[in-house]
Amino acid sequence: MLSEFLLSEMTRLAQQDALPLHRQLYEALRRALLDGKLAAGERLPSSRDLAQDLNLSRNTVVAAINQLTVEGYLVSQVGSGTYVADSVPKATPRPAAVTQQQAGQLSRRGEALASTFCANQLEVQPFTPGIADFSAFPVALWQRLQNKHWRMTYPDMLDYNDSGGYAPLRRAVADYLRVFRSVQLDADQVIITSGTQQSLELCAQLLADHGDTVWVEDPAYWGAVKAFMATGLSMHAVPVDQQGIAPGSDDAHPVPKLIYVTPSHQYPTGAVMSLSRRHQLLACAAQHKAWILEDDYDSEFRFSGPPISSLEGLDKDGCVLYMGTFSKVLYPGLKLGYLVVPKPLVGAFKQAHYDLNRPGQMPLQAALAEFIEMGHFSSALRRARQTYAERRAALVNALAPCLQDPKAGVYVGGAEQGLHLCLRLPDRVDDQALAQRLGQQGLTVRPLSAYCLHREDLRGLVMGYGYAPLAAIERYGPTVARAVVAAI
């Protein structure tokens, strides 16, 4: 029976990973599809029936089904129901278990990648199990746009693409960045990638050699650490303070080839790089003839204070490569991002992107370009800003009981922007033990110390509010506050 399989799979996932309920159900349904528990063309039980059988909220079920629909596993027929797509691959026998001898054959780099900064432990997801906000994504409209471009598709739209991406989409990205992020560019400098990870890997492969040094912020974004590790670069951790990355005299050697920063909203502390620090970093890059990789991953969501222009917008020497993603505004599984490269590098980057990655997905890019041109992206962004602003305010308010005594050393960092904040704690608090205690209560928070490369002086809780419904924040936020008060 489908419900029994889903319950069994969700139980296994809950024991293995701290995933929110909608993600557990998504993974379980996806496994049922790939294992042939549901055949192509078969009708799914209604969301109401599934919610009742699995003892879940209907919104949780709808969120999982919508995500699988967006990814093409399911198709929805108005008035009829939801069906397994004909394109879902047939079930194939699972390979035999890997022997102990085979498991030990990873390279040293492979061992490091498999054991360092594991994403399921560090990704900022709900601080409490809840409904992912991308459940509000206009799936029906998106499907119509995709279907339209599949019907109109010319043969060359089904091939690889060596131009850096669909031209109307690159123009739309350039127009957006020019107006809202003060990036100096034309459309030819935009390269459409599969997301920030691919953008980082492309930069590392083209701008540095094996063993070259890359400066990374400490604490660090796990995805960047993985990308640089995979491309054989030597990472040098530079501490972050309240104004962003803060290189000192001890960081002059080895000389960096690349400098990776998240200046608009440092990940994970939330620090915003000051204007003076931005100029200092640009001067430092010019001095060392280094490239700056600016990851502007959530700049769309700024809730207070004046707007902050990009680091690239201040660059007079052409040493900044700027990258962003559509995943935060639309949905994570979209897997489309963009990389803006200086004009002298455009030809080389397009050629290497084609040779290394064989980019495609042109009908998907065409659908996204029309989605932007029709104003739907702006509408989605406005709705998201309002929603996240409400959740951010509710979370800060819920944490108030642990913020009342200034002598306690507890304060909120990075709440002016983005989809997460950092609750900073005094050094004497064991943030990993605190996060584990909250996890036992079903609340997913991340210890700040787990993001550190070399530093041992940071304690805190990294809390995402973008994926937690408002009611859950108001209900469970005080639980976090009480746990913090007890710990200090």
Mean pLDDT of 277-299: 94
CA–CA separation, 345 and 185 (whole Å): 13
CA–CA separation, 409 and 416 (whole Å): 20
Residue 414: pLDDT band with limits 50, 70, 90? confident
Task: Please check whether residue 88 is in contact with residue 78, taking contact to mean a CB–CB distance below 8 angstroms.
Answer: no
Side chain identity, residue 102: Q
Residue 104: pLDDT band with limits 50, 70, 90? low
For 56-65, 87-96, 139-148, which range has the lowest pLDDT when averaged over its residues? 87-96
Side chain identity, residue 466: G
Residue 80: pLDDT band with limits 50, 70, 90? confident
pLDDT of the residue at 16: 65
Mean pLDDT of 27-35: 85
pTM higher than the cut 0.85: no
pLDDT tops 90 at residue 480 = yes
pLDDT of the residue at 7: 82
Mean pLDDT of 326-352: 91
pLDDT tops 70 at residue 112 = yes
Residues ≥6 apart with Cβ < 8 Å to 471: none
Residue 126: pLDDT band with limits 50, 70, 90? low
pLDDT of the residue at 148: 87
196 vs 254, which has greater pLDDT? 196
Look at residue 82 and give its three-state secondary structure. strand
pLDDT per residue as tens digits for the range 231-286: 999 999 999 999 999 998 888 788 999 999 999 999 999 999 999 999 999 999 99
Residues ≥6 apart with Cβ < 8 Å to 101: none
CA–CA separation, 28 and 22 (whole Å): 10
Task: Please check whether residue 290 is in contact with residue 381, taking contact to mean a CB–CB distance below 8 angstroms.
Answer: no
pLDDT per residue as tens digits for the range 458-471: 999 999 888 788 88
CA–CA separation, 486 and 481 (whole Å): 9
pLDDT tops 60 at residue 227 = yes
pLDDT of the residue at 415: 79
Task: Please check whether residue 273 is in contact with residue 266, taking contact to mean a CB–CB distance below 8 angstroms.
Answer: yes
Q: Which residues are bridge partners to 76 per DSSP?
A: 82
Exposed e or buried b per residue across 53-84, where buried means at least 16 C-beta atoms within 10 angstroms of its C-beta: bbebeebbbbbbbbbbbbeebbbeeeeeebbb
CA–CA separation, 477 and 9 (whole Å): 29
pLDDT tops 70 at residue 479 = yes
Look at residue 404 and give its three-state secondary structure. coil
End-to-end distance of the chain based on CA atoms, in angstroms?
A: 49
pLDDT of the residue at 360: 83
Which domains, ranges and CATH numbers included, belong to the chain?
A: 2-96 (1.10.10.10), 119-134+384-487 (3.90.1150.10), 140-374 (3.40.640.10)
Most confident of 76-90, 190-204, 375-389: 190-204
pLDDT tops 60 at residue 90 = no
> HSE on the CB side for 486, CA within 13 Å?
11
pLDDT tops 80 at residue 141 = yes
Look at residue 81 and give its three-state secondary structure. strand
Ramachandran angles phi, psi of 234, nearest 5°: -95, 120
pLDDT of the residue at 130: 46
DSSP H or E run through 437 = helix 431-440
